[in-house]
Amino acid sequence: MTTANPVLKTSAASAKRRFDWVPYLFILPHLMFFAVFAGFPFFLGLVISLFEYDFLRPEATRFVGALNYTNLFTSTSVEFPVFWNALGNTFEFVLISVPLLVVIPLGLALLLNINLAGKNVYRAIYFAPWVLSSAVVGLLGFWIFQSQGGLLNYYLKDLGWFTPRWLSSMPWAWYAILIVTVWWTSGFNMIIILAALQNIPATLYESASIDGANSWQRFVYITIPMLRPVLVFIVIITIIASFNLFAQPLFMTNGGGPAQSGGGGATEPIMIRIYNESFVRNRMGSGAAMSFVVAGIMMVISYFNFRIFRTRE
């Protein structure tokens, strides 16, 4: 079999000189799709962000250099207040939602990992919301939280409890969006953690028990370290998913959410702002620049994520 592998066959020196096609052939199918559907649009987006651009008005397309970017950092520009408001909102959502979306699924996974009658039914119940589309979840959220005859306030009122204006006042609008998001996506994270839990060898727990470790010690010294790679993955994809918040505010708080002084809605996420800039105001260059600033921020966050988790090992 080794003869089929040219890398092993040749010496280290000649391997450097001779270009080896085989590994590239293996990734070629993916590379083709990546190049067409991710690489090329990424490059084109970068180009568009340097232009004033509207695909229906080729006559008006003109090169503006970094203007679309500098606008985002100039406090007197049209884009400045709305862009940073939306980005701030999104950060706030990420900061609050990500810990919840890691801790709650972890707890659920631990509970469902014990031998429990009908645990598959519970797993299915917790996972079920994930199969709904974002539009369905957003509309359900609206009809549960809306103030005039919405399900939640209807019962809260019957109980004589406080009935906040969930969708039109702060911070309640965020709580409503957060509750819906946790309900919707926890199941997905739970399933991944559950799979990882089942991969931890039972012998580790057995020997720890023999050494006299209690259940808390077994959790902290065996479960968490064994889950670390999966938790890194969960944290990163959850940060990205929370950054991409779009449909919940779109349906529940009508895009912007409670209006506030000075520009932008209180629950307007950055993705809705980018969409509006690009396809409602038809300023696609400026929208592309916003996208790249956000993409840059996400890359920096992912980098630190990997570093923090790596240094612990």
Partner 1 sequence: MLFKRSLLALAALFMLGAALPVMGQTSLPESCGVVRLQYWNPFTGPDGPFMGEMVEAFNAANPNIQVTMTTQSEYYTQLSTAAASNSLPDIAIVHADQIATQVYRNILRPIDSIVAESGINGEDFPEAVWNAGEVDGMRYAVPLDIHPMTMFVNMDLLASVGAEAAPKTGEEFAAVAAALTGDGNNGFMITAGFPIRQIFEMLMYQFGGTSFNEDGTEATWNSEAGVQAAQWLLDAQAAYSEPNLEVDAELNSFKGGTVGMIWNGIWQTTNVTGEGVFFTGIATAVPQIGPSPAVWAGSHQLALPVRADEDPCRDTAAGIFIGYLLDNSVTWSRAGQLPASSVVRASEEFAEVQPQFDIAMGSADYVFFPPSVPGITDAYGPLDEAIGALMSGNATDIQAELNNAAERANSILEQNRATYGTN
Residues that bind partner 1 (CB under 8 A): 52, 54-57, 60, 77-78, 81, 146-149, 165, 167-170, 253-254, 256, 258-266, 279-283
Q: How far is the CB of 168 from partner 1 (least distance, A)?
A: 4
The SS3 call for residue 148 is: coil
CA gap 250, 267 in Å, rounded: 9
CA gap 311, 207 in Å, rounded: 28
CA gap 183, 31 in Å, rounded: 36
CA gap 197, 222 in Å, rounded: 10
Nearer to partner 1, 74 or 217 (CB): 74
Q: How far is the CB of 260 from partner 1 (least distance, A)?
A: 5
Q: How far is the CB of 62 from partner 1 (least distance, A)?
A: 10
The sign of the CA dihedral 228, 234, 237, 242 is negative
Nearer to partner 1, 165 or 218 (CB): 165
Q: Is 84 exposed, middle or buried (0-12, 13-18, 19+ CB in 10 A)?
A: middle
CA gap 78, 81 in Å, rounded: 7
Nearer to partner 1, 68 or 189 (CB): 68
| End-to-end C-alpha distance for the chain, whole angstroms | 36
Report the interhelical angle of 40-48 vs 284-311 (nearest 10°).
Answer: 120
Nearer to partner 1, 89 or 238 (CB): 89
Q: How far is the CB of 277 from partner 1 (least distance, A)?
A: 10
Q: How far is the CB of 295 from partner 1 (least distance, A)?
A: 23
Residue with tokens 């559907």: 37
Nearer to partner 1, 32 or 135 (CB): 135
Q: How far is the CB of 167 from partner 1 (least distance, A)?
A: 4
Nearer to partner 1, 189 or 267 (CB): 267
